[in-house]
């Protein structure tokens, strides 16, 4: 009976010890076991859990996008308000030298009695003012012998009996019109031939 016990012990030892003759097979078996365990864990994930993770990710992206848009909106509103408050700064700065000239003309007008000198001073100031406005993009609407155009003219009177050559033509300009960079800011008020 002792022989049977020894054989049984040897068989048990061989079963417990890994196969030393082929270690690659043992490693491959272990890797396959690990991969199958990972796959089983992934498959075991509840679809509800996966869906909740996706929802959380999308919710985070949505909240970030909304916050970015809100910041953009606030920034543009602030820039618009700033432009409205300070938009005329360039114009005012350009006109201030003309105002200074007018003040000097008034001060010198009290000292001199010569109307010709006053007239020349006013004409110089007027020319400077026109040049300043042109520099800002303001231009005068021409009305002399022009065809009546409703885009730039406003008829305040129709003058009959002026002949066929004057029909539909501007005869007189009552108030000058102006454009700012090709946009009409004040229509010219004119009398038109009928």
Kindly report, residue by residue over 156-183, the tens digit of the pLDDT: 988 887 777 788 888 888 999 999 988 9
The reply to whether 67 falls in a domain is: no
Lowest mean pLDDT segment, chosen from 83-87, 127-131, 145-149, 175-179: 83-87
**The CATH number of the domain where 148 resides is what?**
2.30.22.10
> How many domains would you assign to the chain?
1
pTM of the model: 0.55
18 assigned to some structural domain: no
Residue 66, in any domain of the structure: no
Q: State the pLDDT at residue 50.
A: 92
Query: Which structural domain, as residue segments, surrounds residue 180?
Result: 139-194
Tell me the backbone φ, ψ of residue 65, rounded to 5 degrees: -65, -45
- Residue 159 pairs with which residues in a beta bridge? 193
In contact, 143 and 178? CB cutoff 8 Å: no
108: Cβ contacts below 8 Å, ≥ 6 apart: 121
Residue 164 lies in a domain: yes
CA 183 to chain CA centroid, nearest Å: 22
Q: Indicate whether 1 pLDDT > 50.
A: no
How many of the other CB atoms lie within 10 Å of CB of 177?
A: 20
153-159 and 138-140 as β-strands: parallel, antiparallel, unpaired? unpaired
Task: Say if 149 falls within a structural domain.
Answer: yes
143 part of a folded domain: yes
For the chain, what is the mean pLDDT? Answer: 81
Handedness of CA 30, 34, 40, 41 (dihedral sign): positive
Tell whether 172 is covered by a domain. yes
**41 part of a folded domain:** no
């Amino acid at each position: 009976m002792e022989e049977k016990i020894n054989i049984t012990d040897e068989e048990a030892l061989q079963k417990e010890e890994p196969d030393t003759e082929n270690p690659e097979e043992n490693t491959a078996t272990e890797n396959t076991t690990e991969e199958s365990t990972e796959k089983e864990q992934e498959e075991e994930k509840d679809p509800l859990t996966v869906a909740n993770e996706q929802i959380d990710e999308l919710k985070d992206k949505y909240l970030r996008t909304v916050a970015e848009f809100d910041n953009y909106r606030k920034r543009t509103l602030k820039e618009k308000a700033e432009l409205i408050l300070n938009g005329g700064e360039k114009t005012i700065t350009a006109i201030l030298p003309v105002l200074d000239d007018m003040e000097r003309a008034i001060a010198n007008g009290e000292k001199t009695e010569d109307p010709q000198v006053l007239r020349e001073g006013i004409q110089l100031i007027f020319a400077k003012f026109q040049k300043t406005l042109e520099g800002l993009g303001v231009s005068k609407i021409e009305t002399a012998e022009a065809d009546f155009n409703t885009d730039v003219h406003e008829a305040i009177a129709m003058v009959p009996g002026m002949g066929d050559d004057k029909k539909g033509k501007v005869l007189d300009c009552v108030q000058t019109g102006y454009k700012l960079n090709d946009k009409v800011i004040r229509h010219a008020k004119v009398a038109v031939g009928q």
